[in-house]
Amino acid sequence: MLMYEIDRNSSDPIYIQIYQHIKEDIECGLIKSGEKLPSKRSLAENIGVSVITAENAYAQLAAEGYIRSSPKKGYFVQRLPNIPEKREASEDLAQPEEFFAQNNDVPELFPFTVWARLIREELTMKQTTLMTPAPAEGVFELRKAIAEHLKSFRNMNVSPEQIIIGAGTEYLYILIRILLGDRSLIAVEEPGYGKIADIYTSLGMRCERIPMQSDGIDVEALAASSADAAHISPSHHFPTGVVTSIAKRYSLLGWAAEGRYIIEDDYDSEFRLSSRPIPPMFSIDVTDRVIYMNTFSKSLTSTIRISYMILPMPLLKRFKERLKFFSCPVSTFEQYTLARFIESGAFERHIRRLRRYCRSKRDRLMALVSENELFKNAEVSGMSAGMHCLVKFDSILSDDELLERVKAMGLKADKLSEHYHAPPDEELHTLVIYY
Amino acid sequence: MLMYEIDRNSSDPIYIQIYQHIKEDIECGLIKSGEKLPSKRSLAENIGVSVITAENAYAQLAAEGYIRSSPKKGYFVQRLPNIPEKREASEDLAQPEEFFAQNNDVPELFPFTVWARLIREELTMKQTTLMTPAPAEGVFELRKAIAEHLKSFRNMNVSPEQIIIGAGTEYLYILIRILLGDRSLIAVEEPGYGKIADIYTSLGMRCERIPMQSDGIDVEALAASSADAAHISPSHHFPTGVVTSIAKRYSLLGWAAEGRYIIEDDYDSEFRLSSRPIPPMFSIDVTDRVIYMNTFSKSLTSTIRISYMILPMPLLKRFKERLKFFSCPVSTFEQYTLARFIESGAFERHIRRLRRYCRSKRDRLMALVSENELFKNAEVSGMSAGMHCLVKFDSILSDDELLERVKAMGLKADKLSEHYHAPPDEELHTLVIYY
């Protein structure tokens, strides 16, 4: 089933976006030559567009020779005369030994050739620039490139001045600690990504766990706590996959408006696979209470340590007062290279490639799951984004037994209960499966 | 006057070391062809070696055609048949506009060609390695390369396991805060490098200023304080240039032995221009109370953010307990490139080149100074290392007037009093001059 994300804020017409997605999938071999495409009616339904839009997309593909229409039979992919470079990589990806490796650290997925070319060009042409120490916030070119990326990708209106570059998210937490004060109590999600609380705690801050609900963090429990800030991931919560509802987003902003802060961790927004874009809380906040945080760890590689946060104006002022004498911890060499990588469009192409990879892994996981007795009547959730899903089994097996069976299938998984600070007493029969 | 540093712990004979230094200076154009060299007697005296050693060095140079001996006249540099690549760069350095720029950020000094080659090789050959997240301490190859460098360069016996890689020294301070606890009181030098206390303070630690004396920090004042640790730079204090005496080093170790810590900041040890190597306190400490800290900011460039510290065993254990889940903040791409840069010998060559550059700038500064009336009877100190010196003027001019005059000469300088947290009331008639 073809599922593509449509950006309704894009200046490109929707039919062109669909055309481009399908064209890329054909070029990289995800859709094989000779394969039958869905009817225009079912394509329209899948993506949530009109039939005429789907028809226009197919017409464009046919006009360019990617597909052909066979009367009464449907649309079929043409054999392409030349095998593009991408294809090889895509075929590599299908090797079973790396099927369930972590996406972001698969060497075949990193754009080594482009990166090597860009860094060589920077080292040749920008020697004086590279030797100029960056301001505490990071080099302007990178912050500008990120602002433009966020505009086109997340429809966020951000000034480069608000963007602070860090060496991994830990470093940003350190800055947040200095900005919010070391007496701050930070609310974190329960269950959640355990490292967040570990780092805050090791930096001498206090953390309080607030339960997750099906539409986001429990705002009543949050209000009852004395938290000064809440570190949350409204776009796609780990491990539950919950997307915070728009109503809850406004409640959270109401809570923050009374002198508190939301730290919006948008760690895997680039991996959204469904077609409904959700505006980040930063964009709907008019009271300057949201700190937006993101990283290139997932969208590029975790081994180039580049992350960033966007500060609301009052905190930006505080940053300039308290942190102006810090040195930006990221090498100028890599900041300029990444800026070029984003500006040149290579980053966007890279994300599309990662998404296709995720989508194909997700589809294969689903195929595997649908054939397996263990998964019968299981509820699978949290697949709208990211690289993991939650599976609640209809089984009398213990969590440990379930985990053992799933691992024996070659899947990477752990128990949902492991992601609780205080795990529930009963068995949850729920695993987090990574793809 | 030729002044070279001799490493008496090196496996190379001393005459070979002298031969190599002179050979390099000839090759890079610092000693011009046709120039007369000092007599073997005065060379021996300058460097503090025997006359026979100096003679052996000259004999080797003559045998290889670098110099010729002219009976009764002395030794002269031969014209070299081919101009080596280095020469151009060295001539660039002599351009007046950059004469007093900061050494470490002069683009002509950074080994761009070597660096570009190494990073290209890493990106081609180590793709899987580069995609593997580094442990919290940093990649092993770099820590091993640093350990070997410290052995050959500082005669330090350090295991790679003790070395922790950071993104600039600020990041290391953050780790130190976590290791020592946030209630720690840190003693810092007065006068001193102001940023040290600024950063500790912004991280929520308390600092106490302890006066500097002519042989290092005032140990009595330190003992009278309730400091838990002292952050000092015994090899070469900024801004006074004081080298902590060996007696004081032992007193400091005695102070630390009672459950306290010395943070030994060896920030510019690579730039020692005199020939007496002083062992770092880390090497003479048998009670595990010294944290050694260094950076590639000065010896390579401040824009590649790589620093490191060496932990004594008990703190290493604490690191593993409390900080193991932190991600190393430096990109693996640059960690592996730097490891190769050190292992290949390129780093050592680069340091020699920087030293020659510093030495020539120092000599030219001295020449400028010796001809100027303002500097008559001035005491110049702190020139055994680093890139700055202290000048105490014999003058009735105010510090501001002195600074104005010195700046008018095209020198980069500031007032010693600016480096005090609580500047003395009277005029110090002393400037820090950077070269």
A322 vs A325: CA distance, rounded Å: 8
CATH code: domain of residue A192: 3.40.640.10
Q: Give the distance from CA A155 to its chain's centroid.
A: 15
In a domain, A92, yes or no: no
What is the pLDDT, as a whole number, of residue A72?
82
CA distance B158 to B329: 22
pTM value > 0.80: no
Domain match, B337 and B368 both: no
Q: Is A83 exposed, middle or buried (0-12, 13-18, 19+ CB in 10 A)?
A: exposed
At position B165, the amino acid (one-letter code) is I
Q: Both tokens of residue B152?
A: 């050959």
Same domain, B296 and B158: yes
- My answer on whether B147 and B226 are in the same domain is yes
Q: Are residues A252 and A297 in the same domain?
A: yes
- 3-state percent breakdown (helix, strand, coil) of chain B, nearest 5: 45, 15, 40
Q: Pick from B346, B371, B401: which residue ends a domain? A: B346
Give the pLDDT score at B2. 67
Residues 6+ apart with CB under 8 A from A363: none
Closest CA to A27 of A89, A106, A86: A86
The C-alpha atoms of residue B37 and residue B76 are separated, in whole angstroms, by 6
- Write the DSSP string, A204-240: T-EEEEEEEETTEE-HHHHHHS--SEEEE-TTS-TTT
Contact B305 A167 (CB under 8 A): yes
| Residue B188 lies inside a defined structural domain of this protein | yes
Inside any domain, residue B93 = no
| Chain B positions in Cβ-Cβ contact with residue A320 (cut-off 8 Å) | none
Structural domain range at position A118:
114-346
Any residues with CB less than 8 A from the CB of B362 and at least 6 apart, and which? B273, B383, B389, B435
Nearest to B428 by CA among B219, B215, B212: B212
**A110, A123, A329 ranked by CB distance to B167: nearest:** A329
Q: Does A334 share its domain with A238? A: yes
Considering CB atoms only, which of B107, B177, B305 is closest to A331? B305
| A288 and A170 co-located in one domain | yes
Residue-level pLDDT at B380? 87
DSSP state of A342: H
List phi, psi (to 5°) of A75.
-105, 135
Residue A100 lies in a domain: no
Which amino acid makes up residue A344? S
> Does residue A336 share a domain with residue A383?
no
Handedness of CA B135, B137, B138, B143 (dihedral sign): negative
Are the Cβ atoms of B203 and A178 closer than 8 angstroms? yes
A42 in a domain, yes or no?
Answer: yes
- Mean pLDDT, consecutive 10-residue stretches, chain B (435 aa), reads 73 83 76 84 86 88 80 82 36 33 64 94 93 95 96 90 95 94 94 94 93 96 97 93 90 96 91 68 94 94 95 96 93 97 94 86 84 89 80 93 93 94 93 91
Number of domains in chain A: 3
Is A109 domain-assigned?
Answer: no
ipTM: 0.76
pLDDT of residue A274: 58
Q: Report how far apart the first and last C-alpha atoms of chain A are (Å, whole number).
A: 18
CB contact under 8 A, A167 and B171: yes
Same domain, A185 and A215: yes
Among B346, B364, B398, the domain-final residue is B346
The pLDDT assigned to B231 comes to 98
Q: What is the CATH number of the domain that holds A11?
A: 1.10.10.10
Residue A331 to residue B329, Cβ atoms within 8 A: no
- Give every residue of chain A whose pLDDT is below 50, as ranges: 82-104
Residue type, A180: L
Which residue among A69, A85, A101 closes a domain? Answer: A85
* Contact across the interface for B305 and A198, Cβ inside 8 Å: no
Residues A376, A327 share a domain: no
Residue A10 forms part of a structural domain: yes
User: Are B196 and B276 contained in the same domain?
Assistant: yes
Kindly state the helix (H) or strand (E) to which residue B400 belongs, with its residue range: helix B399-408
Contact A102/A388 with Cβ under 8 angstroms? no
Residue the block writes with tokens 């480069």: A160
Same structural domain, B296 and B367: no
| Backbone φ, ψ for residue A223 (5° rounding) | -65, -30
Q: State how far the Cα of B407 lies from the Cα of A320, in Å rounded to an integer.
A: 29
> How many of the other CB atoms lie within 10 Å of CB of A49?
21
Q: Are residues B149 and B282 in the same domain?
A: yes
In a domain, B363, yes or no: yes
Mutation for B interface: A330, A335, A350, most B CBs within 10 A: A330
Q: Which helix (H) or strand (E) holds B336?
A: helix B332-343
Q: What are residue A293's DSSP bridge partners?
A: A265, A309
